[in-house]
Structure 1
Amino acid sequence: MAQLQYKDLLDAGVHFGHLTRKWDPRIAPYIFMEKNGIHIIDLNKTLAALEDASNAVKQIVRSGRKIMFVATKKQAQEVVAEEARRLKMPYVTERWLGGMLTNFATVRKSLKKMSSIEKLMKEEAFTNMAKRERLMVTREKDKLQKLLGGIADLTRLPAALFVVDVKREHIAIAEAHKLGIPVFAIVDTNSNPDSVDFPIPGNDDAYKSISIITHAIGRAIEDGLMERKKDKDDQKLQEEEETKRSVDAAASKKAASAPAPVAEVAEDTEEPETESEA
């Protein structure tokens, strides 16, 4: 994974925090200085936190589990949804439904309902419906798609969350903590870094800042997926080699236990010598 540099974060404005009067004192260890009434984040701390988070994310994905992206603020929706779709990871960029994690069984029922509606709309029976009925079905499908489209392929709880804006997504974080799901998050100077497992100090309002950190996490996920594929290929190759060795050993054992061929005795075809006459 290409490592981010201090200058990259600086150019993206990751270091800009909130007004000093809006700060959360628990973020103090990550603040570098105050300038013009604004807190400036220590980007060296950001780089270190991002590296720790990336390594942890990579290991989670390598084990075959999913990372759910959560970002419902307007400036984060597009970049987060795009990155999550690229990596085939679940995401929530509209409203967070209460109980999306803690009451996942009910959410799965809604997902099944959405799937059934999509299937119905492809059938001839749908075209035979009255116009009003078709409109109602379409509206319901659009509503479900908007709220749950990002988690349509989610069959079990995610292994971790990546969150943009700790304060805004506090319900999602609370549900994750209740279930023991680790949370990776961009934490601005107005937020509590202790509320998540892997805080990444940074500007959670500017598009460029959100984008650069989201893509860094995305690259870590991509690395994890590649390593998982390599692990699978190595395991398949090893299994094939073991199978070949087993077949060769069985063939050798069979050949060793077979009876030795009996040599044929050559018949004496020579004529007997006659005695000479006296």
Structure 2
Amino acid sequence: MATVTMRDMLEAGSHFGHQTGRWNPKMRRYIFGAKNGVHIINLQLTARLLKDALDFVSRLGQRGDQVLFVGTKRQAQEVIEQEAARCRQPYVAFRWLGGMLTNYRTIKISLERMSEVEKSLSPGTVERLPKKEVIRLERELSKLKRNLGGIREMPKLPGAVFIIDTVKEHIAVKEATSLGIPIVALVDTNSDPDETAYPIPSNDDAIRSIRLFTAAIADAYIEGAALHKDRRSGDDLGTHGGSSGAAPVDVVRKGGATEVAEPAEADEDTDTDTDGDDE
């Protein structure tokens, strides 16, 4: 499982919250104290909650459910795009369009339109179009890719949403909540942790802090997805390689190592969620 140490968090400035005058009282339980007018986040609690979040994301990967990465603030955009691409998950890094989850059928129509425009601009077709039409289509495609390019491989609603800054992404939070989609999120001292199923108290403004936690989430998903792939391969072998009638062998990840659990005896009658400087 992906690990983030206390030292990693300290070096990333993850313990620095907002100024004491800009806080949400619901974050009180995650605040260690204040220094020079800035709230200090209790990183021991962060470490515990991060583990819960990583376990959850890994389970999603094992099931093959997608996680939608969301971070449209300037400091988060590049990180969100890079880490989501690394774990092959959908993302929104430019702008959250209202209804992106709650009106997903309309969003899918826009995604289909993107594919149509790409075909119109493909070699062998684009040459037959008037120059003005080509320019218009290129502009349309650019806008569609900017707004929706990150979710074009999201065929259905995700199993969870990972959010950087729930205050900034309040519309995404509202939509996910209304649909019962679990939220994993970085919550700073001005956030409402009760809005998320898996809050990770941390600095959500410093680039290093954002990158640290986003990479950990991506790593957890990759590890879970690897187990999902292993299980599917095992199923294929059982289906096409001749059935011996033996119970399936479970692959269990413990402490970073992979162990094989002995199959249980089968019953004969058994049916088959600022910048790079610290604040």
- Regarding TM over 0.5, the answer is yes
Residue 33 of structure 2 corresponds to 33
CA distance in 2, matches of 1:58, 1:46: 18
Q: Secondary structure at the match of 2:148?
A: helix
Alignment length (residue pairs)? 246
**Per-residue displacement from partner, 1:128-182 (whole Å, max 9, x unpaired)?**
2221111001000000000000001111111100000010101001100111100
**What percent of counterpart residues are identical?**
44
Q: Secondary structure at the match of 1:156?
A: coil
Residue 261 of structure 2 corresponds to none
Q: Secondary structure at the match of 2:18?
A: strand
Once the two structures are superposed, the pairs formed by residues 223-242 of structure 1 within 5 Å of their partners are 223-240=223-240, 242=242
Deviation at 1:92, TM superposition (A): 0.2
CA distance in 2, matches of 1:2, 1:210: 15
Once the two structures are superposed, the pairs formed by residues 1-278 of structure 1 within 5 Å of their partners are 1-240=1-240, 242-243=242-243
Deviation at 1:241, TM superposition (A): 5.1
Rg (Cα) greater in structure: 1
One-letter amino acid of the structure 1 residue matched with residue 70 of structure 2: V
Deviation at 1:2, TM superposition (A): 4.0
**Per-residue displacement from partner, 1:112-136 (whole Å, max 9, x unpaired)?**
0000111111142321222111100
Deviation at 1:243, TM superposition (A): 3.5
One-letter amino acid of the structure 2 residue matched with residue 169 of structure 1: E
Deviation at 1:85, TM superposition (A): 0.9
Contact persistence 2:119–2:125 (CA under 8 A): no
User: Any unmatched runs of 5+ in structure 1?
Assistant: 246-278
**Per-residue displacement from partner, 1:80-128 (whole Å, max 9, x unpaired)?**
1001111110000011000000000000000000001111111423212
Deviation at 1:244, TM superposition (A): 6.1
Q: Secondary structure at the match of 1:243?
A: coil
Deviation at 1:205, TM superposition (A): 0.2
CA distance in 2, matches of 1:2, 1:182: 20
**Per-residue displacement from partner, 1:219-238 (whole Å, max 9, x unpaired)?**
10011111101111222233
Deviation at 1:13, TM superposition (A): 0.4
CA distance in 2, matches of 1:59, 1:120: 40
CA distance in 2, matches of 1:49, 1:110: 37
One-letter amino acid of the structure 2 residue matched with residue 136 of structure 1: R
CA distance in 2, matches of 1:127, 1:241: 51
Deviation at 1:240, TM superposition (A): 4.1
User: Any unmatched runs of 5+ in structure 2?
Assistant: 246-279
CA distance in 2, matches of 1:219, 1:2: 6
CA distance in 2, matches of 1:98, 1:223: 32
Bigger proportion of residues as helix? 1
One-letter amino acid of the structure 2 residue matched with residue 108 of structure 1: K
Contact persistence 2:57–2:217 (CA under 8 A): yes
**Per-residue displacement from partner, 1:172-193 (whole Å, max 9, x unpaired)?**
0110011110000000001110
Q: Secondary structure at the match of 1:21?
A: coil
- With over 3 angstroms needed to count, the CA separation of the structure-2 counterparts of 1:242 and 1:25, relative to structure 1, is same
CA distance in 1, matches of 2:16, 2:92: 26
Which range moves more in the overlay, 123-132 or 208-217? Answer: 123-132
One-letter amino acid of the structure 2 residue matched with residue 192 of structure 1: D
Q: Secondary structure at the match of 2:161?
A: strand
One-letter amino acid of the structure 1 residue matched with residue 90 of structure 2: P
CA distance in 1, matches of 2:130, 2:56: 53
Residue 258 of structure 2 corresponds to none
- With over 3 angstroms needed to count, the CA separation of the structure-2 counterparts of 1:149 and 1:52, relative to structure 1, is same
